[in-house]
């Protein structure tokens, strides 16, 4: 069956509802007109994960409703996911069902793709994987034209590469991003492009240096580096730090450095509360920061970091949770005012909203 997760005919109405709710949530702050960035109606997710439901000698893709983990919905395709994923789903499943070795104790399948059609599939098992598994999986890799990773407890077998390279167009330039399996990347590539273009437009004409907190694989860092003398970025995930450094080289970014540390730690370093060996090769005093970009997790920004970013003339805040953005804005609004306000529909047909704000320091605070 097809899991009916999209309603293209209702998309405009749903997007308007989200927009109205976001405007209402922030109306106390009298923000400017909301800029709305929509999503493709179908095939917008570049990654997808499916459980594998075993019945007798046959495996199927399955999804579950929250709290109903014994009642599978068996599916053949998934309109939310990229067309490349939908084309691979039946051919991969046929190969799995053709081989008892590949099917047996297979628990889930994860797809990671790009706008250009690169594909990486991770097969996760409840059994050890040996050379015989590698031999059969290699044949599937060649037949489907993909890379494959086999995972089980304390095992990761990579057939090919463990990443794909996404290509995004921002402000007339093309940027390439290594996206590593099992690490965080934006799932909706087309909306990600719009978000990056918005952020770049916010920084045109900037002076000074940029601080970026929660930089991930360099998603924002790379295009924004074109508008600043220097960029200092922070990220706690080791995998993401390695990808960011790789992506700096891939895109010829020479004016950016990255420190592997949490925003709370960096705030302590900025206030000289603590010194960190991870910053021993970075001269914080050499930066003339004018702008900070924060893209925090759903929990938002911690109190100390809020006090740090309030010192900046310009704050770009990307939020995956408007409720914590609202909380943080209450603390920031005494020194800054909202100049731009945006909605990015990363997750159509759900209640989730991604928001962006450009905040400028009030003249009385200058």
Catalytic positions, written as ranges: 320, 354
| Secondary structure element (H or E) that encloses residue 93, with its range | helix 83-98
Cα–Cα–Cα angle for 281, 287, 288, rounded to 5 degrees: 175
- How many whole angstroms separate alpha carbon 233 and alpha carbon 210? 8
Residue 311 to residue 290: CA distance in whole angstroms: 9
Q: How far apart are the first and last CA of the chain?
A: 60
The tokens of 171 are what? Answer: 């402000």
Provide φ and ψ at 67, rounded to 5°: 80, 0
Give the C-alpha separation, 218 to 237, whole Å. Answer: 12
* CB contact at 8 A, 75 and 3: yes
**Rounded Cα gap, residues 282 and 232, in angstroms:** 9
Residue that has been written with the tokens 């990056």 in this structure: 196
CA atoms within 13 A on the CB side of 83: 6
DSSP, collapsed to helix, strand or coil, labels residue 88 as helix
The residues with which 51 forms a beta bridge, in sequence order, are 62, 108
Cβ atoms within 10 Å of 220's Cβ, excluding its own: 25
- Is the CB of residue 14 less than 8 Å from the CB of residue 348? yes
Q: Tally Cβ neighbours within 10 Å of residue 130.
A: 12
Q: Give dist(CA 81, CA 63) in Å, integer.
A: 14
Q: Which neighbouring-strand residues pair with 293?
A: 212, 316
């Amino acid at each position: 069956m097809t899991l009916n997760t999209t309603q293209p005919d209702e998309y405009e109405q749903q997007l308007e509802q989200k927009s109205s709710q976001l405007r209402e949530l922030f109306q106390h702050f009298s923000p400017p007109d909301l800029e709305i960035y929509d999503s493709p109606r179908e095939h917008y997710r570049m990654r997808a994960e499916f459980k594998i439901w075993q019945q007798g000698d046959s495996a199927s893709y399955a999804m579950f409703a929250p709290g109903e983990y014994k009642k599978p919905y068996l599916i053949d395709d998934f309109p939310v996911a990229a067309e490349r994923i939908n084309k691979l789903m039946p051919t991969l499943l046929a190969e799995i069902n053709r081989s008892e070795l590949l099917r047996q104790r297979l628990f889930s399948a994860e797809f990671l793709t790009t706008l250009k059609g690169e594909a990486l599939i991770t097969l996760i098992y409840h059994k050890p994987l040996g050379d015989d598994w590698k031999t059969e999986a290699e044949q599937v890799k060649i037949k489907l034209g993909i890379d494959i990773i086999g995972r089980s407890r304390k095992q990761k077998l990579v057939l090919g590469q463990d990443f794909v390279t996404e290509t995004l167009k921002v402000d007339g330039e093309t940027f390439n991003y290594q996206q590593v399996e099992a690490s965080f990347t934006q799932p909706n590539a087309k909306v990600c492009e719009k978000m990056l273009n918005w952020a770049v437009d916010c920084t045109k004409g900037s002076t000074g240096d940029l601080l970026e907190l929660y930089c991930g694989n360099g998603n924002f860092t790379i295009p924004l580096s074109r508008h600043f003398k220097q960029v200092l970025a922070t990220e706690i995930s080791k995998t993401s730090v390695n990808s960011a450094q790789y992506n700096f080289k891939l895109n010829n970014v020479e004016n950016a450095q990255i420190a592997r540390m949490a925003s709370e730690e960096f705030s302590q370093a900025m206030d000289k509360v603590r010194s960190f060996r991870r910053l021993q090769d970075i001269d914080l005093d050499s930066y003339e920061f004018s702008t900070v970009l924060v893209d925090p997790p759903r929990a938002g920004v911690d109190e100390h970091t809020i006090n740090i970013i309030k010192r900046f003339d310009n704050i770009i805040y990307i939020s995956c949770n408007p409720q914590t953005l609202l909380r943080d804005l209450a603390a920031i609004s005494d020194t800054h005012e909202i100049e731009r306000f945006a909605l990015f529909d990363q997750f159509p047909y759900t209640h989730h909203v991604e928001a962006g704000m450009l905040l400028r320091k009030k003249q009385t605070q200058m």
